[in-house]
């Protein structure tokens, strides 16, 4: 019998299979800050008295996270080595919760995900599901055979968000922008575009790392957007004949090689604040007016009657919501794709003061807004009622931060990303509990991270000092 065991241990054939894990059906999964129920076992000490396992004792080793299948999603692929066949059990907990006992692992108590399956000699692979895209976890595995139960094998650093926390900064001397302040970054069909707020600089990149200048249609600062096969550039200039600032819009059907002029005669005279492509339409915000277009050639302006400049809009659940200053009216909504707008006087009742709401995004059935002095809030009923936090970002960042842009990554397992001054980025699974990320490596710690975009595999942010950063 002993010789047979030794022979089995020498087998070099590696078997690999995938078992889909189970998300804990209980709705009472603990909060990451909840210490949970401490188990009696300690990882690596499953053998009474410690020491070397006796011959025939099951042993698990070489645990690793092979792949976070969707790095902004809810799945991770984990592998481990087993010295013998048997039945394995595992559970996945938030990394702040005490390690479980063997009995707790098998009973999957107080866990985020769990599973069991047949184990072979060699490398085994498990596909773990049911994770939260912005949380960090530890998986605990045990192997049970007729000869007993193995020591607990902990597998650390399970974090679907981990790639988001690793950034590379491109200094302005390594970019073709000439060190000018950057104003916007967008991504469409996997391609990134950035624009300058001071000079006529527009560039494109297929990977967010290597950038190529595009001939700009304007001699001044430019905002850009992409949609319906068109790259749209927006700027302004002073018209002495009208004694006013006028809006300039041009669009390209060949990614910036040539440009066509839009008819902007109906648009209000003022500087444009933002342009967004939403639900097959372009929306251009000038003062309290929002103009829409499907082709960027002609525009239809509509007044929101807010009385303050519109800074941003977002779409969700059949509703467009526009945000601006809180005095006298800070928002408007549209349920007919922007054809008509209705102002809302009390969406942010209680905020008070001359506070700018700079950005808004929609995801997971929730509108999330943020702005000056740490203000942020949310609505789960299409803007009918709002909940606000007078210091949400202040709590996250430790100082009165000003949010400058916000996006939702998309899908049911996406997350919110907000950029701010002081070189700060925050991210959140639900838009209410945020995690802080300081972008190190920038030339100036006080930089404004003015915009963010993603192609689903990489994030790119741009700063007011002409620098750029991207995720790995």
Each as own residue / partner, the long-range contacts of residues 292-297 (CB below 8 Å, 24 or more positions apart, any chain) are: 292/337, 292/338, 292/339, 293/262, 294/228, 295/228, 295/230, 295/251, 296/228, 296/230, 296/232, 296/249, 296/251, 296/262, 297/251, 297/260, 297/262, 297/263
pTM of the model: 0.73
At residue 178, the pLDDT reads: 66
At residue 23, the pLDDT reads: 45
CA angle, 345 then 346 then 351, to 5° = 120
d(CA 458, CA 435): 19
At residue 44, the pLDDT reads: 35
Using CB atoms within 10 Å of the CB of residue 457, give its burial: 0 to 12 exposed, 13 to 18 middle, 19+ buried. middle
Tens-of-pLDDT digits for all 472 residues of the chain?
A: 444 434 433 333 333 333 334 444 333 344 433 333 333 333 333 333 345 555 679 999 999 886 554 444 567 889 999 999 999 999 999 998 999 999 999 988 778 889 999 999 999 999 888 787 667 899 999 999 999 999 999 998 887 666 677 889 998 888 887 667 888 999 998 899 999 877 678 999 999 999 999 988 988 788 999 999 999 999 999 999 989 999 999 999 999 999 999 999 999 999 999 999 999 999 999 999 999 999 999 999 999 888 888 999 999 999 999 998 765 557 889 999 999 999 876 555 555 556 678 899 999 999 998 888 777 888 899 888 887 765 555 555 555 678 899 999 887 778 899 998 888 888 888 887 787 776 788 888 788 999 999 998 899 999 988 899 998 7
At residue 153, the pLDDT reads: 96
């Amino acid at each position: 019998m002993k010789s047979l065991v030794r022979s089995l241990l020498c087998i070099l054939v590696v078997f690999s299979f995938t078992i889909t894990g189970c998300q804990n059906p209980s709705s009472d999964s603990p909060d990451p800050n909840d210490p949970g129920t401490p188990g009696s076992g300690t990882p690596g000490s499953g053998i009474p008295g410690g020491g070397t396992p006796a011959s025939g004792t099951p042993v698990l080793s070489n645990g690793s996270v092979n792949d976070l299948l969707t790095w902004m999603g809810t799945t991770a692929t984990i592998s481990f080595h087993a010295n013998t066949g048997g039945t394995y059990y595992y559970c996945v907990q938030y990394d702040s919760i005490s390690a479980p006992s063997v009995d707790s692992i098998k009973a999957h108590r107080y866990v985020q995900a769990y599973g069991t399956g047949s184990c072979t000699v060699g490398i085994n692979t498990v596909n773990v599901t049911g994770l939260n895209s912005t949380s960090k976890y530890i998986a605990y595995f045990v192997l049970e055979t007729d000869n007993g139960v193995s020591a607990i094998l902990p597998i650390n650093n399970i974090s679907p968000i981990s790639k988001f926390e690793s950034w590379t900064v491109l200094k302005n001397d390594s970019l073709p922008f000439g060190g000018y302040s950057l104003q916007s970054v967008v991504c469409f069909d996997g391609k990134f575009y950035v624009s300058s707020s001071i000079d006529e600089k527009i560039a494109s990149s297929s990977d967010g790392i290597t950038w190529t200048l595009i001939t700009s249609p304007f001699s001044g600062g430019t905002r850009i957007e992409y949609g319906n096969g068109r790259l749209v550039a927006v700027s302004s200039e002073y018209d002495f004949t009208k004694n006013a600032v006028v809006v300039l819009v041009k669009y390209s059907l060949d990614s910036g090689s040539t440009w066509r002029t839009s008819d902007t005669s109906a648009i209000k005279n003022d500087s444009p604040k933002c342009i967004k492509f939403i639900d097959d339409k372009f929306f251009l915000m000038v003062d309290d007016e929002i103009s829409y277009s499907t082709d960027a050639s002609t525009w239809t302006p509509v007044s929101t009657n807010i009385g303050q400049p519109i800074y941003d809009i977002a779409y969700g659940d059949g509703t467009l919501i526009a945000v601006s200053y809180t005095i006298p009216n800070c928002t408007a909504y549209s349920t007919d794709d922007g054809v008509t707008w209705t102002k809302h006087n009390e969406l942010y009742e209680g905020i008070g003061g001359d506070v700018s709401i700079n950005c808004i995004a929609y995801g997971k059935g929730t509108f999330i807004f943020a702005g000056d002095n740490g203000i942020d809030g949310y609505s789960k009923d299409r803007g009918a009622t709002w909940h606000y936090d007078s210091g949400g970002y202040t709590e996250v960042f430790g100082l009165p931060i000003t949010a400058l842009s916000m996006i939702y990554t998309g899908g049911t397992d996406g997350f919110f990303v907000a950029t701010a001054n002081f070189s700060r980025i925050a991210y959140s699974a639900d838009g209410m509990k945020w995690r802080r990320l300081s972008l190190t490596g920038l030339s100036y710690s006080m930089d404004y991270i003015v915009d963010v975009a993603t192609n689903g595999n990489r994030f790119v942010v741009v700063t007011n000092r002409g620098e750029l950063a991207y995720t790995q």
